[in-house]
Amino acid sequence: MQHSSSKRIALVLFFVCLAIGVVSSPLWAADHDGYIIRSNVNEVRLVFAASDRAGHVVQSLRSTDVAVADNGRIIRHFRSFRAASEIPLDVVVLLDASDSVAAQLPTEIAEIKSFVQNSKWGERDRVSILVFGGLHAKLICANNCTAQIAQAKLSALQAAGATPLYDALFEAAEILRRDRNPESRPAIILFSDGVDTISIHSAAEVAAAAQNQQSVIYSVNSRSAKAGEGRGDAVLEYLASNTGGLSFAPGQNVEQVLREVLEDLHGGYVLTYELPEQNRGQHSVRILPTRDPRLEFRARRAYNDSAEE
C-alpha cells in the first residue's frame, strides 16, 4: 500500500513540474522501489580559440578570463571550462571536384591523402572524405579514411561538372550530425574556389546549420593564385568567420595549411553554460575578455536554441 502511494506521489510531482516547465528532457527509469524521475538541463557549448593581437595563441586561460554575451546577456559562470585538446575530433574533408578547380585537384588530392595517412589522430578521432562535382556530393569514406580502398577512390577522382558547393556543405554538416559523439569537436575542411553554380541551399543556410551543430569550417581557397581576386573569396571568408574557423588564401602550401588546421583544432577551449530561458530562438554570441582587453577570440557567432536541446 505504501509502495503504491509512493508511485502516485512521484507521478503527481512529475506532472506538476512538467506543467510549470521545471522538467527538461525527462528520462524515466524503474527499479524495485518505484519510479525515479531524472532530467537533463539544456546547455550551450562553445568551442573557441584565443590569441593576442599579434596572433600568438594563448594557452593559459582560466574561466574567469572570459565572459559570454548571449543575445546581450552577460554570462560569467560556466558549467564547464576545459582545453579543446581533451576532446576527440570528428572531421569531414570536403573536396571540390568540379570543372572550375581541375588544375589544382591533383595536388590537393595528394596532400589530403598524406594528411589523412600521416597525421597523429587520437583513438577516438574520426575522419570522413566527401567530394562534390556535378549534381551531387559523393562520400568517399566515412569515419576512417586510411584504408587502401578509400585512398584508391580518392586517387581516381577526375574534375567534372557543376559546383553544388552549398548543398555539399549542408550534406557534410548532416554527416557530422548523424551518430555524433556529443563530446566530439566537429569540423569541416573545405577545398573550393567558393563559387556555387547549382545549389538549392544558400550560404546563410549552410552557416546556420554549421553554427547550430557546432561545426567549425576551415576554407582552403582552390583558386589559382595567378587569376586575381575571385568572386568566391568572400564566400569562403564568410563561412569560416561565422563558424569560428579560418580562411586560407589561394597559392598557399596545402601541407602547411592542413598542419595549421589540425593544430587549431587541438588548441583552444570549450565552455558550457545553461541555455538562457529568455529570448527563445536565434541567439547571437560573442566571447569577451574580462581581464586583458588585448585578447581576441574566434568562435561561432550564433546558434538556434532548439539545436542545443
Contact assessment for residue 301 and residue 284, using Cβ atoms and an 8 Å cutoff? yes
Q: Is the Cβ–Cβ distance between 217 and 245 less than 8 Å? A: yes
Residues 124, 63 share a domain: yes
Q: Is 242 a residue whose pLDDT tops 70? A: yes
The answer to whether residues 8 and 87 belong to one domain is no
Let me know whether 13 and 89 are in one domain.
Answer: no
Reference 132, options 180, 99, 155; nearest CA is 99
pTM of the model: 0.83
309, 306, 308: which is closest to 280 by C-alpha?
306
Contact 76, 273 (CB under 8 A): no
Taking residues 10-23, report their average pLDDT.
42
DSSP 8-state class, residue 63: G
Q: What CATH number is attached to the domain comprising 163?
A: 3.40.50.410
Residue 120, burial from CB neighbour count under 10 angstroms (0-12, 13-18, 19+): exposed
* 16-20, 70-74, 146-150, 251-255: least confident range: 16-20
Do 185 and 304 sit in the same domain of this protein? yes
- The upper half-sphere exposure of residue 242, i.e. CA atoms within 13 Å in the direction of its Cβ, equals 20
Q: Residues 11, 82: one domain?
A: no
Query: What does the pLDDT look like over 35-78, one tens digit per residue?
Result: 333 334 589 999 999 999 998 889 899 999 999 999 999 999 99
14 with 84, same domain: the answer is no
- 43: cell is 546547455
298 and 167 share a domain?
yes
- pLDDT at position 279 is 63
Contact 215, 186 (CB under 8 A): yes
Co-location of 63 and 33 in the same domain: no
* Least confident window among 38-42, 110-114, 205-209, 256-260: 38-42
Question: Based on the structure, what is the number of domains in the chain?
Answer: 2
Query: What is residue 309's predicted lDDT score, i.e. its pLDDT?
Result: 58
295 and 253, same structural domain?
yes
Q: Are residues 24 and 67 both part of a single domain?
A: no
Q: Based on the fold, state whether residues 29 and 55 are members of the same structural domain.
A: no
Contact present, 270 and 180 (Cβ < 8 Å): no
Least confident range from 26-30, 144-148, 276-280, 304-308: namely 26-30
What was the pLDDT predicted at 29?
35
Across the chain, where does the E strand assignment appear?
A: 26-31, 34-39, 43-51, 66-70, 73-75, 80-83, 89-96, 126-132, 137-141, 185-192, 216-221, 247-248, 269-274, 282-289, 296-298, 302-304
pLDDT for the residue numbered 33: 37
Q: What average pLDDT is seen over the chain?
A: 86
Please give the backbone phi and psi of residue 235, each rounded to the nearest 5 degrees, phi first: -65, -45
CB distance 136 to 200 below 8 Å: no
Enclosing domain of residue 60: 42-309
Q: What was the pLDDT predicted at 297?
A: 97
Same domain as 83, residue 22: no
Residue 5: what pLDDT?
Answer: 52
User: Which stretch of 10-24, 33-47, 191-205, 284-298 has the lowest confidence by average pLDDT?
Assistant: 10-24
Task: Compute the Cα dihedral for 75, 309, 126, 88 and give only its sign.
Answer: positive
